[in-house]
Amino acid sequence: MTVRVTVADPMVHRCDVLAVGVFAAPGRLEGLAAKLDQALGGALARALHDEKFTAELGKVFVLHTLGKLPAARVAIVGLGDRDAFTIDRLRLAAASVARAAQDRRLSRLALAPLQHRDWEPAAIAAARAEGAILGTYAFTKYRKEKSHGVDVDLLAANRAEATALEAGRRRGQVVAEAVNYARDLVNEPPNVLTPDALAGEARRAARGTKLKVQVWGPQDLKKRGLEVILAVGGASAHTPRLILMDYAPARPRRTIALAGKGVTFDTGGVDLKTPEGMATMKEDMSGAAAVLATMRALPLLQPAVRVTAAIAAVENAVGSRAMRPGDVVTAVNGTTIEITNTDAEGRLILADAVAHLAAGGPDEIIDLATLTGAASVALGPYAAAVMGSDQGLVDRLIGAGARAGERLVPFPLYEEYRRAMRSDIADIKNAASRHGGAQKGAAFIGEFAGKVPWAHVDIAPVAFLDGEEGTSPVLPRGGTGFGVRTLLEYLAGRG
Ligand code: BES
Ligand code: MN
Ligand code: ZN
């Protein structure tokens, strides 16, 4: 899909479908919708009335213009209540109409100009571009039938307006393409997307940019004492990798470290999952995908903040070399860990990754992980959980998520959760009882951040949707790419 800004009058612009947003219950059509209705001899108002169109958010009504207008069709897009309208709702509406055009196999979609007294034109263009690109995403790599391509024109009244829109359009496109890239990585099957393949993606992402990438294989991990990652990946023929990435702009305001859980498949290990629990466990590298996609977008967005990333990529397999309940392993910072459950592997690999990042002395550490079923049970597929050692950092992440259209809900991190992770024979154990499971997992990871302000985002609820509990126009079935929008918004605000 391409999104462009085009200077054109919607009344004379030629396209397959011209989209116009309307608010709920206006009584009668206003503005451009009224002008279009007039050109159609009142047919638009009559059709909307007869079809009981309610302008509910994301509802789309398409009417053929039968040669009465240069646009072959008009799409009336519901924007919901005028008073409840937000940038996020604009993003959802753009996603809905782009998807409607795609479903009808229409190729040229034009979005009529939209102004809002509280919003910058660039923010409007960014939300529309983002929505359209996110809304038409489909993973068709392994199918003969590909999805229909839609080209979108954001109509502008004049050159000056077009210039203002263009900056937002570009940003929205970069962000949405980063999200879709993360989705592709998550949807890629686990026999293809192995730890080594993920490392290859990082190398490819850096090619031709000033991103630096380093990949540590089993020998490097052993030499540098990242034994926990080795233990988790021990049973798989697809050996572990630690993928280190560095975005270093000229005069950075601060250094932010990102860690991603990259379990390319989670069988649970010796504490084997049930078939139902294992079915979608290719999603267990969604944190890694979000971090990698974010890093890949940074050279295009150029925030003035240094970002270092550590992506721990392993397969949690079963076999005679697998770690067992009762094993004790030592993390890179010297902390010993009693493994009480081999299915709590995400926090194990993040122990080494976060401790490694902390040793570099960044200003903040943020980790993203599909860490616990407990977070999923608590929230359903509607939000991620966030917690950490620094309330300011947690609050800023929640704010960035809200602006970017991703929900992050704060969970408490009481001292008691950390206490529950005490081991009889080592410094800490990796699993305790299920109660407060998301917080206990987080408390474990927090041990390895040392004194560096740290936050953890448990994206298990939202990383992968099976559609049973519903998706949204911007969240498809399968990998969602959750976290990319929040991270890019957050980093932009810290640079
Ligand atoms: N990858 C899972 C968590 C998960 C569950 C992600 C569902 C996405 C959807 C993780 O490695 C895991 O198995 N966690 C255990 C931890 C427990 C053994 C302490 C869990 O949540 O049951
Ligand atoms: Mn697990
Ligand atoms: Zn896992």
The rounded Å distance from CA 404 to ligand 1 centre is 27
Beta carbons of 92 and 473 less than 8 angstroms apart: yes
pTM of the model: 0.98
* Residue of the CA atom closest to atom 13 of ligand 1: 343
Amino acid at 364: E
Pocket perturbation via mutation, ligand 1, pick of 372, 440, 465, 482 by most ligand atoms within 8 A of CB:
372
3-state secondary structure of 23: coil
Query: Which atom of ligand 1 lies at the shortest distance from residue 271's CA?
Result: 18
Residue 325 Cβ inside 6 Å of ligand 1? The answer reads no
> What span, in angstroms and rounded, lies between the C-alpha atoms of 222 and 365?
24
Residue 460 Cβ inside 6 Å of ligand 1? The answer reads yes
Does 203 have pLDDT greater than 80?
Answer: yes
282 catalytic, yes or no?
Answer: no
Residue ranges matching CATH 3.40.220.10 in the chain = 3-159
pLDDT band of residue 153 (cuts 50, 70, 90) is very high
Would you identify the CATH topology of the domain 3-159?
Leucine Aminopeptidase, subunit E; domain 1 (3.40.220)
pLDDT digits (tens, 9 = 90+) for 260-301: 999 999 999 999 999 999 999 999 999 999 999 999 999 999
3-state secondary structure of 198: helix
Per CATH, the architecture of 181-492 is what? 3-Layer(aba) Sandwich (3.40)
324 catalytic, yes or no?
Answer: no
Residue 340 Cβ inside 6 Å of ligand 1? The answer reads no
> What span, in angstroms and rounded, lies between the C-alpha atoms of 178 and 172?
10
Residue ranges matching CATH 3.40.630.10 in the chain = 181-492
The rounded Å distance from CA 346 to ligand 2 centre is 6
pLDDT at 345: 99
Query: Which atom of ligand 1 lies at the shortest distance from residue 346's CA?
Result: 11
pLDDT at 151: 98
- The first and second tokens of residue 480, run together, are 């969602």
Please give the average per-residue pLDDT across 247-254, as a whole number: 97
- The first and second tokens of residue 181, run together, are 């890239």
3-state secondary structure of 158: coil
pLDDT at 469: 74
- Outline where 154-216 has alpha helix (H): 159-187, 195-206
3-state secondary structure of 26: coil
pLDDT digits (tens, 9 = 90+) for 38-78: 999 999 999 999 999 999 999 999 999 999 999 999 999 99
Checking 391-398 for CB contacts under 8 A at 24+ apart, the result is 392/453, 393/364, 393/366, 393/453, 393/454, 393/455, 394/455, 396/490, 396/493, 396/494, 397/366, 397/455, 397/457, 397/486, 397/490
Does 470 have pLDDT greater than 80?
Answer: no
pLDDT at 479: 98
Share of the chain above pLDDT 90, in %: 97
Does 28 have pLDDT greater than 90?
Answer: no
What pairing do the DSSP bridges indicate for beta strands 306-316 and 255-266? Answer: parallel
pLDDT at 26: 64
Residue 376 Cβ inside 6 Å of ligand 1? The answer reads yes
Residue 343 Cβ inside 6 Å of ligand 1? The answer reads yes
> What span, in angstroms and rounded, lies between the C-alpha atoms of 93 and 264?
34
Does 107 have pLDDT greater than 90?
Answer: yes
* Residue of the CA atom closest to atom 14 of ligand 1: 372
pLDDT digits (tens, 9 = 90+) for 171-191: 999 999 999 999 999 999 999
Does 253 have pLDDT greater than 90?
Answer: yes
Residue with the two structure tokens 């937002």: 168
Structural element, H or E, at residue 337: strand 336-338
Q: How far apart are the first and last CA of the chain?
A: 30
Does 80 have pLDDT greater than 80?
Answer: yes
What are the C-alpha distances in Å from 347 to residues 114, 329, 442? 46, 13, 8
pLDDT digits (tens, 9 = 90+) for 115-150: 999 999 999 999 999 999 999 999 999 999 999 999
Does 196 have pLDDT greater than 70?
Answer: yes
> What span, in angstroms and rounded, lies between the C-alpha atoms of 293 and 297?
6
- The first and second tokens of residue 349, run together, are 């690999």
Longest Cα separation, the chain? 82
Beta carbons of 351 and 359 less than 8 angstroms apart: no
Residue 346 Cβ inside 6 Å of ligand 1? The answer reads yes
pLDDT digits (tens, 9 = 90+) for 475-495: 889 999 999 999 999 999 999
Cα dihedral across residues 225, 365, 383, 139: positive or negative: negative
Does 467 have pLDDT greater than 80?
Answer: no
pLDDT at 198: 98
3-state secondary structure of 16: coil
Checking 324-327 for CB contacts under 8 A at 24+ apart, the result is 324/270, 325/270, 325/271, 327/231
Residue with the two structure tokens 């936050």: 455
102 phi, psi to nearest 5 deg: -60, -45
pLDDT digits (tens, 9 = 90+) for 111-123: 999 999 999 999 9
- The first and second tokens of residue 33, run together, are 């919708």
Beta carbons of 101 and 483 less than 8 angstroms apart: no
pLDDT at 494: 94
